[in-house]
Structure 1
Amino acid sequence: MAPPKPPRALVGRHLDASRAGGPSGFVRETYRLNRAEARRKAREWFDQYPKAAYWTQVESWRVLDGDVIEFTMRRLPTAD
């Protein structure tokens, strides 16, 4: 028998907490920009928060209508 699923409100709170640098420890920010601006914004993140120190990465991305890119950047809150 499968365990019961958690209520949607609980799942939503956990997602919000993880996106705000909660238990996972990562800071996430989602953008919707045209292709050229999306590249610039991602480059800003990698320049400001180097991948080696902050584990910066494009966590997810997708192409929307009108050549708009929606993407989520992820990084650690501090470099150790």
Structure 2
Amino acid sequence: MPSSPEDLADRMAARRRQVNADDGFAREIFTQPRDQAPETARAFLDRWPAAAYMSAVESWRELSGGEIEIVAH
């Protein structure tokens, strides 16, 4: 049983990455301060355009310290 909502979120994120690990997508995980996270996500999507690579932000969440974790493929 998770001891906090953050523990539950961490377990769910780890499980999601394991389940999707063999689906053929290369994933990148970014953890950054809130003000930098959108710029990083945009740079990733610009570098790997969806039309050619099916790129997307798969998930994002706010961590306890105020940072944002982004999972992109």
Under TM normalisation by the shorter chain, which class is it? 0.5 to 0.7
Point out which structure has higher relative CO (alpha carbons under 8 A, 6+ apart). 2
Aligned residues of 2:41 and 2:70 also touching (Cα < 8 A): no
Structural mapping, 1:34-49, within 5 Å: 34-49=33-48
What residue ranges of structure 1 are gaps of 5+ in the alignment?
Answer: 1-11, 75-80
Structure 2 SS opposite 1:25: coil
| Equivalent AA in structure 2 for residue 69 of structure 1 | I
Please tell me the root mean square deviation across aligned C-alpha atoms, in Å: 2.3
What residue ranges of structure 2 are gaps of 5+ in the alignment?
Answer: 1-14
Higher strand share: 1
Whole-Å separation in 1 of the counterparts to 2:57 and 2:20: 19
Whole-Å separation in 2 of the counterparts to 1:59 and 1:41: 14
Is residue 54 of structure 2 the alignment partner of residue 55 of structure 1? Answer: yes
Structure 2 SS opposite 1:36: coil
Structure 1 runs of 4+ aligned residues shifted over 6 Å read none
Give aligned-pair identity as a percent. 38
Structure 2 SS opposite 1:27: coil
Equivalences, count: 58
Whole-Å separation in 1 of the counterparts to 2:35 and 2:50: 21
Match of 2:18 in 1: 15
Structure 2 SS opposite 1:32: strand
